[in-house]
Amino acid sequence: MKPALPHSLRTTAAAVAVSLGAASLLFFHPAAQGESPPTAAFWLMLVALAGAALWTIRRVAAIHGTRFDGILTAALFGLWVLYFWQMLVVVFEVPRVLLPAPSLIVQSLVDNPGKLWGDFSQTVLKAVCVGWLLGSGLGFGVAVAIDRLPFLQRGLLPLASLTSTVPLVAVAPIAVMWFGFDWPSKAAVVVLMTFFPMLVSTLAGLKSSGKLERELMHSYAASYSRTLWSLRLPAATPFIFGALKVNATLALIGAIVAEFFGSPTVGLGFRISTEAARMNMSLVWGAIVVAAVTGSLAYALLVQLERRAAFWHPSIRGK
Amino acid sequence: MATSNKAPTPPLARRMWNTGFPVAVLLLAFLVIWYGAAWCMNSAAAVERVLEPAGHPWTWQDLLATTWNMERPVLPAPHQIAVDFWSGLVDWPLDSPRNLLFHVAVTGETTLVGFVLGTLLGLVLAVLIVHSRTLDRALLPWIVASQTVPVLAIAPIVLVILGSLGMEGLAPKAVIAMYLSFFPVTVAMVQGLRSPQVIETEMMHTYAASRWQALWMLRLPAALPFLFPALRVGIAASLVGAMVAELPTGATAGLGARLLTGSYYGNTLAIWSALVMSALLGLGLTTLVAATEHLALRHRRQP
């Protein structure tokens, strides 16, 4: 049995529904479709809708207690931004070069599935996936390997931390010279960019197990590898997943920017730079939508994976 | 920040030795590996382009010397990069595009302007978000989510849009550097401005402090330790943004443009020098932020 909604919640829900309904009705007004010049009545309705949009966002933001209220406000806000972007771009006849309407971007996504899928598989499935797995794997492997060599750790850690201040993506032209124009050179850039965050995080994670637990393992006469496997690696999982998440974004950036330096005629970065030069902006936006969705999906996937893998850890349990 | 009741830190000389020595050993090993790699990677081209055409028989010493001094090596030896780097610094007048410092000035200017604008934008946004529940609920999730998205990919669009609005030169590049650096600042500052304890905010309340006073005297000082790590991330992002912004415009000035022209003409040494220079610029800018942090927070370390 659902508890009856409180009065204020019901008005808010009704207001959201009514304003969204009015908004979708206004969307089919000839002026909003770019078929006739906007009339005074149309402007009046648009301004009224803007007021309603602000008011509903405020109302929804004021809701306390439900599980999704945080996401709800952001979603409603995003929806309204998209809506007014669409309406204003059409009504003011903003040139497509400046800012295409969202409907045009969706149109370009629908019209070029083959092209964008090719770019996606070139950049994401090949360069990013291979580079991300190799870079993160190598970082992890090296961290575990030098775990018993404090000398190497003391030498490597400062250098590895310094690399975060260096624009590593600038090695792209060298990678192109060594590995050719195709995806291996992009994967190489990604490997370099993802290696150091993983190395630093894993080393920090391996040190994160508590003194009590380590002494317990010691009193069990557990061997080094047993302690590593049963205590220290599990304790490092949140750190490792943290690096995996950071690396997912870094890998996408690295692969896309590396394609700006030269690539075969396929790939998200190539698409973005060449179509921008040809002023075909709706396809550029389409490619960016693909990249953005990929980034957020990868992140969400890793968060879910982390919850499965480290469900016992206090940082996850609290959520 | 009362962190002084820990075990006494070892003297400076000891600490320097503890990290400095391993780092030096590692760098030396790295250099040796580099020379070895240069020999391996260049030997094929060295034999084909230099030693065979010469006609007379050659020994392995000749091969070694050739691989480390090639005109367009696959992997230049460190001393070649050092020589080219130094000549890029001193052999040309400062306003010549052959001088590395000229490019550093262009990229550094873009980075700093974008960084300052981005930081200001981030600060203003964070203050607004902390004081408005609506903005907090509507905007912050999008700003956080944008961290998972390759926002740098929008750079060519920003260039096209600002270019058709008639903005040229520094401004479009600085805008890209700005929007890359404002995300981390906003997220960290929201966290920092919220870091004061309930007891402290209630005390401000009992003093009848206005929102501005509470912001100025309590929230902002409390947020500083959160701000500076974000600034370090922000300036690194700003540098990447400035360099990437130089790519699609066909710009002729800046480290990014220098990398691109080097790769067009297969000028390996120029690429490596530009790479070393951009690494140094990144380190320098981060040091600048770290020095500011040191200066701003120097009173807090005193027990």
pLDDT(B299) > 80: no
| Most confidently modeled range among A55-64, B21-30, B114-123, B224-233 | B114-123
Q: How is domain B100-296 classified at the architecture level of CATH?
A: Orthogonal Bundle (1.10)
* Chain B CA closest to residue A283: B157
Percentage of chain B exceeding pLDDT 90: 12
CA gap A24, A32 in Å, rounded: 11
Considering chain B, tell me which residue range(s) the CATH 1.10.3720.10 domain(s) occupy. 100-296
Query: Among the listed ranges A8-17, A66-75, A279-288, which one has the minimum average pLDDT value?
Result: A66-75
Tell me the shortest Cα–Cα distance from A137 to chain B, in angstroms. Answer: 21
Label residue B8 by pLDDT band (50, 70, 90): low
Average pLDDT, stretch B96-111? 85
**B263 vs A: CB within 8 A:** yes
Domains and CATH numbers, chain A: 7-93 (no CATH), 111-317 (1.10.3720.10)
pLDDT(B131) > 60: yes
CA gap B119, B1 in Å, rounded: 24
Average pLDDT, stretch A196-210? 91
Query: Among the listed ranges A119-123, A281-285, B12-16, B155-159, which one has the minimum average pLDDT value?
Result: B12-16
Give start and end residues of each alpha helix (H) in chain A: 7-27, 40-61, 69-91, 102-111, 113-120, 129-145, 150-162, 172-179, 183-206, 211-219, 224-227, 233-260, 268-277, 281-309, 314-317
Label residue B18 by pLDDT band (50, 70, 90): confident
**B274 vs A: CB within 8 A:** yes
pLDDT attached to residue A5: 56
Subunit contact B164:A97, Cβ cutoff 8 A: yes
pLDDT attached to residue A143: 92
CB-nearest to B150 from A76, A159, A295 is A295
Which chain B residues contact residue A296 at CB under 8 A? 145, 148-149
Alpha carbon distances (Å) from A107 to A101, A110, A119, B29:
10, 5, 17, 55
* Chain B CA closest to residue A170: B275
Residues 6+ apart with CB under 8 A from A207: none
Query: Among the listed ranges A244-258, A260-274, B281-295, which one has the minimum average pLDDT value?
Result: A260-274
Write phi, then psi, for A259 (nearest 5 degrees). -70, -20
Q: Please report the ipTM that was assigned to this predicted complex.
A: 0.82
Subunit contact A178:B74, Cβ cutoff 8 A: yes
pLDDT attached to residue B59: 76
pLDDT(A23) > 90: no
pLDDT attached to residue B123: 92
Give the best residue of A194, A260, A303 to mutate against chain B (max B CB count within 10 A).
A260
**B260 vs A: CB within 8 A:** yes
Subunit contact B148:A272, Cβ cutoff 8 A: no
CB-nearest to A154 from B22, B142, B233 is B22
| Chain B residues 189-228 within an 8 A CB cutoff of chain A | none
pLDDT attached to residue B112: 93
